[in-house]
Amino acid sequence: MKTQSIAISKYLQRKPLSTLDQIDFLKRLADLLAHGFTLSEAIYFLLQHLHIRHKETHQQITQALQQGSGCATILELLQYPQTIVMQVYFAELFGELNTCLTSSIDYMERQRQAKQSLLKTLQYPIVLLSIFIVMLIVLNQTVIPEFQNLYETMDVNLSPFQMMLTQFIVLLPPSLFVTFIITSCITFILIVLYRRLSPQSRIQFVLHVPHLKHYFKLLKTYRLATEFSLFYRNGISLNKIVEIYTSQKKDAYLNYLGHYILEQTEAGSPLGGTLASLKCFEHELITFIEQGQKKGKLDIELKLYSSILIAKIERKILKQLKFVQPIIFGLLAFLIVALYLVIMLPMFELMQTIK
């Protein structure tokens, strides 16, 4: 329970660096290494100009460098995504750190651009919707009760449709507030439960979540394609890959994947069939592996495939974002029309009564 509390507090804590600063750090690190700096020299130099939010993180990095830790350890202390940390870790094993930093920068920049696109798409309609809800709360407390009193005084009978519409407008703000609280609680509980699951259970859980499962499969496929490309380029056998994966104690997913591949290969299953049985990878990856093993160019094909996957993820996000803004604006238009009808329809009936 204590370990779980620490994990949750770490999750809620702000990162030592913003995403933009993380990308900038990798760019400057790659530039210094390309100009002949050693890793420790480059990081010591960057630390002098780097604004880290937590002082203890700065001290931990200094201690790690003094102990001869690698780049992956430093990135882990700076709370980089686990995908980036592991890619750098494997690249250091085979002396391909510079190449890996370049691909990591591209990956993080694309992720940041996708998040920025999402923010730009949502921020304007959400601001309008928030202003409307605030206005609706004010109207529910001031104007609408006065109109209702006026209609009762003048014996204006509201139709069932008008009464339903009025109730909808009155109950909308508290309903949204309650929905937000319930959704937040459920999300928090699901995150806590998800973190307690085994890697196998996590995979099964995500694969049952609509929409999310598609991105999950694409990201897992990208990660495996990138790592396997690095391994095969350096002549690493499947047995050695399994050994590397099973030795990972900090990454439960890789540890599980290593043991799973080991069990299946010992049972006589080929690598393609083993990965297909996990159901968390794109079918294209299985095809690439099966064909690439026959041609002897698997490392090149997987490297190209990983870049194709990043572009595919980006296109998929942008495509779905195109539908978000019209839906929110459509909802806002419906609410404005509903509010107009709640106020004006009884007013027309009142005018007819007066005539």
* Tokens, residue 109: 């920049």
pLDDT for residue 1 = 44
State how far the Cα of 354 lies from the Cα of 326, in Å rounded to an integer: 41
pLDDT averaged per 10 residues in sequence order, the chain, 355 residues: 47 76 94 93 90 85 91 93 91 90 91 85 86 89 82 76 86 92 94 92 91 91 90 87 90 93 90 89 85 74 88 86 86 89 78 66
pLDDT for residue 179 = 94
pLDDT for residue 184 = 94
pLDDT for residue 323 = 85
- Domain 15-109 belongs to what topology? Receptor-associated Protein (1.20.81)
Residue 185 has a CB neighbour count (10 Å cut-off) of 10
pLDDT for residue 2 = 44
Q: Which residue has the tokens 């109207």?
A: 139
Task: List helix spans (H) across the chain.
Answer: 2-12, 19-34, 39-47, 55-66, 71-77, 82-93, 97-141, 143-153, 160-196, 199-206, 212-233, 238-246, 252-266, 271-278, 283-295, 298-354
**By the 8 A CB rule, do 157 and 197 touch?**
no
* Cα torsion through 77, 5, 194, 220, rounded to 10: 0
State how far the Cα of 197 lies from the Cα of 191, in Å rounded to an integer: 10
CATH 1.20.81 domain locations along the chain: 15-109
pLDDT for residue 187 = 92
**By the 8 A CB rule, do 342 and 144 touch?**
yes
* Tokens, residue 59: 């001290």
* Tokens, residue 278: 């996990």
Q: Which residue has the tokens 């909808």?
A: 168
Phi/psi at 176 (5° precision): -65, -40
* Tokens, residue 334: 């419906």
State how far the Cα of 155 lies from the Cα of 157, in Å rounded to an integer: 6
State how far the Cα of 137 lies from the Cα of 139, in Å rounded to an integer: 5
Q: Which residue has the tokens 């299946």?
A: 264
